[in-house]
Amino acid sequence: MTTKSTIYQFCRALPKIELHAHLNGSLSMSILTELGCMDTSIVRYMNLTDILNKKERALDECFKLFKVAHDATNTPDSVYIATKRVIEEFDHDNVMYLELRTTPRSEENMSKQEYIESVIKAIKENDKNITVKLILSINRSHDMKNSQESLEVILNMKKIFPDIIKGIDLSGNPNVGKFEAAIFKTAKENSLYTTIHCAEVKNDEEVKDILNFGPDRLGHATFLHPRYDGCQENWQLYCEKRIPIECCMTSNVICGTSESYKKHHIQEWIKNGLPFCISTDDKGVFCTSLSEEYEYANEFFDLSKEDMWKVSLNAVDYSFASNAEKLLYKSKLNEWKRDNENLFL
């Protein structure tokens, strides 16, 4: 019988694919403590009530919180430890494949290259039951010169670690800066997959440019469907392209871009059979886990256990893994289903 407790069990046991997780936003309270963060900073980082009370600027408020995590990861050692622990926590949540994303930063005692090297060191040392790949982000608020410099470092590092660095992302505060197609075109030409935070706020012109560019995946796509303040022309273009979107329900609800879980735009993708995956975005800042996000999909959109298994299976196809790896993860999911028939009851 499907009850709340069997759904809880199922979502935790299901081998999951996480395609949208920012390293710094994924730092849990215990990781921040290990990194020497002061209690007062952690309280600020976790103080979501404050954010919810300021709904109209909630998204901007969320971005301020990342400063706490950034301050805690401003040396190669702390970046290494943070990455290691985040991988362990995703593994603990039965995530079998993780695409972690982060923006290369230079700090007083760390270059962008050293930042990436520290993340990669932790990924290479990973001996858990989880495969980890890296997506490097360009911050949309940075100027072209800074973005080009980041891209150069990313491309150089990709030559050294082609099996780990798989893609490039555009992220940062959507109210600041813009999408520069040239950066992503160069990345694509250099065999990097592309994923772009898109329509986090209403911006039809930019959404059109992003859709015309045609990235491999879109982050959020909140204000894309006409029922969610998007325009018909962009929606038609989207339906032709059918680009998989990374849905991060809790993140959108807390940031105030979605009114509630029940009203989340994921329902348009479910209803129309469009490609999506379920993700956490920033599990630390938003106090969530991938298992919990699957539970919300069941609770608010009636996804059955079979449906949720299929969401995980489809996410394999949307990932930036190699074809051989995709076959392996799909067979693991099929095997898990065969061995756990009782969990589907």
Q: How far is the CB of 200 from Zn ion (least distance, A)?
A: 8
Residues of this chain that interact with Zn ion (CB under 5 A) are: 281
DSSP state of 256: T
Taking a C-beta distance cutoff of 8 angstroms, is the pair 196, 243 a contact?
Answer: no
Q: How far is the CB of 254 from Zn ion (least distance, A)?
A: 12
Report d(CA 277, CA 313) in Å as an integer.
9
Q: Helix, strand or coil for residue 168?
A: strand
For 33, the token pair is 């403590």
Report d(CA 307, CA 136) in Å as an integer.
31
Contact partners, residue 87, CB within 8 Å, separation at least 6: 98, 100, 122, 123, 126, 128, 130, 132
Q: How far is the CB of 219 from Zn ion (least distance, A)?
A: 5
Residue closer to Zn ion (CB basis): 283 or 305: 283
Kindly report the backbone phi and psi dihedral angles of residue 281, in degrees, each rounded to the nearest multiple of 5, phi listed first: 70, -75
Residue 262 neighbours by CB distance under 10 Å: 12
Residue closer to Zn ion (CB basis): 180 or 281: 281
Q: How far is the CB of 21 from Zn ion (least distance, A)?
A: 8
Q: How far is the CB of 329 from Zn ion (least distance, A)?
A: 22
Q: Report the residue closest to Zn ion, judged by CB.
A: 281
Q: How many helices (H) and strands (E) does the chain have?
A: 16, 8
Report d(CA 268, CA 323) in Å as an integer.
29
| Active-site residue, 200 included | yes
Residue closer to Zn ion (CB basis): 281 or 292: 281
Residue closer to Zn ion (CB basis): 72 or 100: 100
Active-site annotation holder among 18, 117, 180, 200: 200
Residue closer to Zn ion (CB basis): 221 or 303: 221
Cα separations in angstroms, 178 against 26, 138, 219, 313: 24, 11, 15, 33
Task: Name the residues annotated as catalytic.
Answer: 200
